[in-house]
Amino acid sequence: MTSAEPQDDRLAPAGARRAITGMVTRIRGGDLGSLPVIVGLVLICGIFQVLNPTFLSSTNLVNLTMQCAAVGTLAIGIVLVLLLGEIDLSVGAVSGLSSAILAVGYVQLGLPMPIVILGSLVTGALIGLLFGVLRTRFGVPSFVITLAGLLGFLGLQLFVLGKTGSINIPFDSLLVQFGQQWFLPAWASYSLVGLSAASYFVGEFTRARRRTDAGLTSTPVAVIVARTAAILVVLESAAWYLNLTRGVGAMFAVFLLLVVVVHMFLTRTAWGRSVFAVGGNVEAARRAGIRVDRVYISVFVLCSTFAALGGLFAAARLAAANQGSGGADTNLTAIAAAVIGGTSLFGGRGSAFSAVLGILVIMSITSGLTLLNLDSSVRYMITGLVLLLAVIIDSLSRRSRAASGRA
Amino acid sequence: MTYLPVPTVVRTAEQLLSLRGISKRFGAVHVLNAVDLDVYPGEVVAIVGDNGAGKSTLVKILAGVHPQDEGTIAFSGGITAIASPTDARDLGIATVFQDLALCDNLDVVSNLWLGRELRKGGGLDEVEMEQRSWTLLRELSARIPSVRVPVASLSGGQRQTVAIARSLIGDPSVVILDEPTAALGVAQTAEVLNLIERLRERGLGVILVSHNIADVQAVADRIVVLRLGRNNGEFRVADVTSEMIIAAITGASDNSVTRRASKDAEVVQLRRDARS
């Protein structure tokens, strides 16, 4: 071994081959990333398509995407708290409360829509602040705090709704239009996809050039081109297929946008880095000078705010808020989605995209079973099995990471 | 009884760090009692002592984990107070704790720059950080296969290297290493000892806390012995054998055995007096 060894990273075979061998090594080492969930999604789609040919029809897929947005938004928040190694059991209740505030404020009190929306989101943020302060000041486990929050805010939701129990939101209100009727025009969906692919390419290309200029390893241009092409083809054909009927829902587009934004914050900013650091080793993060308390509070605030936003989406989609809003399995579906999507329950590992992938898996199962005329009993059992599978994969990959020294 | 201190060494450089009369109590326990310590640039000072000698407490005082009860700390000549880890860092005292405090899920670059990431625009300047990481690791002749692998995949010696390299990011003038070789194998220990020599070559004052006399003799210039919270001798490595260090650590010159021997001598004397 010589002192020139630090560079042996760069002595590896260059070009596309290295990219592939690198990926194989990573996967062998248990760094599975999104692979299991993508494989699972393809399998699920395949099975349901065989059982019922309408499953992959454009109409059904449009419906499926529309169902994803609300709970998917909750799942984004869950991904964030899971990255810290914490949990938030109250997202369902907070989303229900947010729906209730919207309905009561807009319909019963006649307040303007923007004010009501703002009020719901601020309520969510304050709830998150409360959780964060309780967590950091008193060191109570987030499991317990948010369990208390689940009960408390469920009660508050019922209180806000009052005796009415269920409030319908007028069909012609902008929010309901947004949730049910607004779809991106075909040209807009294609150009949005094109734009994202282009910005991906430009971003990666300039990064690679800067790295090459600095004498560091960089992704070969061929690989960047291939990835961009893959993104372009997959997303454009998805958009095209959805456009055969109603198209890409505005609410779903907003959900995807949120995921991308959160992903950027997680991977490109010091705040994102500190979230991963706290999730990996709190004490190390603290000694490195990270204000750990602020990281906790910011994440809880974001999670509850996303929950409130998800509640608004749910009310928009349903055109109503009732005592059951955000109840039943909403909570657990959001948590399951984040975990199925590949975010580790053990903290410090995961990605914002797991919210999308996970919710697509769960909603595919729901939609497929509905098409087969199976009721929710079967749906719960199957979703439970898939969740179990996801957690087992998480634990196994953790173990194999430990075995190959990538824990 | 204590060992005679080394004759005052002629110093060309000013002390970087100078502790005088440092005391620390935890409740009724006197953990440190009027401890003195000097650190000069380009010098490795080893602090050795048995369990409970107060080594870790001394390190924690310097790292800003808890302040001393009595005594003064002079840094580059001026008296200062180290009230928090941030104070220590701002002064230029970097500490590598025994547990290393690395985030296993993050890669080497992220760990090195954790808490003081370089920014560019609104985001992180990954290119600059990675480039400077390579430069630093190369200066230390560190053997790290890749700076983009999670720290968990590195060996114990490599992790120690990363932790030491991280302490250098803020350009400190004093580096404190708490038991850096405790969990390492023979080859990795040698690697870390080389690294310590390189820190000295950079003109840093290095405080090495260790149990391992062989390691201390291999790299240290000066050895400060603590025993039961007090200074119990200071040696230049060139003048001392490991037996002498161990004697100072265990207090072999002042223990039940020696006390008994002197008591016997007194008794013999008394008997003689009685007979005469």
Per-residue pLDDT at A235: 92
Over range A392-396, report the average pLDDT: 82
Q: At residue A118, does pLDDT exceed 60?
A: yes
Q: A15 pLDDT band (50/70/90 cuts)? A: low
Residues of chain A in contact with residue B145, where contact means CB-CB under 8 angstroms, are 5-6, 8-9
Chain A touched by B227 (CB under 8 Å): no
- For residue B191, the chain A residues in CB contact (below 8 A) are none
Looking at residue A250, its pLDDT comes to: 92
Q: Given this model, what pLDDT does residue B187 score?
A: 84
B120 close to A (CB below 8 A): no
Residue A140: pLDDT above 50? yes
Name chain B contacts of A208, Cβ cutoff 8 Å: none
Q: Closest to B106 (Cβ–Cβ): which among A276, A289, A401?
A: A276
Domains of chain B plus CATH, in order, are 17-240 (3.40.50.300)
Neighbours of B171 (CB within 10 A): 8
What is the residue-averaged pLDDT of chain B? 84
| Confidence category of residue A3, pLDDT binned at 50, 70, 90 | very low
Which member of A1, A8, A277 has the closest CB to residue B103? A277
pLDDT at A11: 43
Q: Report the percentage of chain A scoring pLDDT > 70.
A: 91
pLDDT of residue B237: 87
pLDDT value of position B160: 87
For chain A, how are helix, strand and coil distributed in percent, rounded to 5?
Answer: 75, 0, 25
pLDDT of residue B266 exceeding 80, the answer is no
Instruction: State the pTM of this model.
Output: 0.85
- To the nearest whole percent, how much of chain B has pLDDT over 90? 22
Distances (CA, A) of A290 to A349, B62, B90, B113, B150: 18, 20, 15, 11, 19
Identity of the amino acid at B73: I
Are A288 and B114 an interchain contact pair (Cβ–Cβ within 8 Å)?
A: yes
Mean pLDDT on B60-80: 87
Q: What is the mean pLDDT of chain A?
A: 87
Q: Which of A162, A188, A308, A171 is nearest to A242 (CA)?
A: A188
Q: Which residues of A touch B (CB under 8 A)?
A: 1, 3, 5-9, 29, 207, 210-211, 214-216, 268-270, 273-274, 276-277, 279-281, 283-285, 287-290, 348-349, 401-402, 404-407
Q: pLDDT of A280-308, one tens digit each? A: 999 889 888 888 999 999 999 999 999 99
Residues of A in contact with B84 (CB under 8 A): none
Residues from chain B that touch A290, judged by Cβ atoms under 8 A, are 114-115
- Rounded Cα–Cα distance for residues A316 and A325 (Å): 12
Most confident region among A151-155, B12-16, B122-126 by mean pLDDT: A151-155
Mean local confidence (pLDDT), B142-151 = 84
pLDDT category at B168 given cuts 50, 70, 90 is: confident
pLDDT band, residue B30 (cuts 50/70/90): confident
Residue from the list A210, A280, A289 with its beta carbon closest to the beta carbon of B106: A280
Select the residue from B89, B113, B125, B127 to test the A interface by mutation, using most A Cβ atoms within 10 A.
B127
Q: Report the pLDDT value the prediction gives residue B112, as an integer from 0 to 100.
A: 92
Residues A229-278: tens digit of each pLDDT: 999 999 999 999 999 998 899 999 999 999 999 999 999 999 999 999 99
Confidence of residue B276 (pLDDT cuts 50, 70, 90): low
> Among the listed ranges A25-29, B61-65, B168-172, B256-260, which one has the minimum average pLDDT value?
B256-260
Collect all residues of chain B within an 8 Å Cβ-Cβ radius of residue A348: 103-105
The Cα–Cα gap between A264 and B21 comes to: 52
In angstroms, how far is the first alpha carbon of chain A from the final one? Answer: 26
Taking the alpha carbons at both ends of chain B, their separation in whole angstroms is: 33
CB atoms within 10 A of CB B260: 10
Decide: A398 and A31 in contact? Cβ < 8 Å.
no
Distance in angstroms (rounded) separating the CA atoms of residues B159 and A137: 33
Q: How far is B154 from chain A (nearest CA, A)?
A: 7
Rounded CA gap, A74 and A303, in Å?
A: 8
Could you give the C-alpha distances from B47 to B35, B39, B178, B193, in angstroms and in order?
Answer: 12, 11, 10, 15
Say yes or no: B112 contacts chain A, CB-CB below 8 A.
no
B105 touching A (Cβ < 8 Å): yes
**Average confidence (pLDDT) over A97-102:** 94
The per-residue DSSP string of A117-150 comes to HHHHHHHHHHHHHHHHHHHHHH---HHHHHHHHH
Weakest mean pLDDT among A78-87, A360-369, B126-135, B267-276: B267-276
For residue A200, pLDDT over 90 is answered with: yes
Test B130 with A285 for CB contact under 8 angstroms: no
Q: Which residue has the tokens 């979703």?
A: A383
Identify the pLDDT of residue B145.
82
A155-181 pLDDT tens trace: 999 999 888 788 899 888 888 888 888
Tell me, what's the pLDDT at B76? 83
Confidence of residue A376 (pLDDT cuts 50, 70, 90): confident
Of B110, B116, B130, the CB nearest to A289: B116
> Which chain A residue shows the shortest CA-CA distance from B64?
A287
- Predicted confidence at residue A10, as pLDDT, reads 44
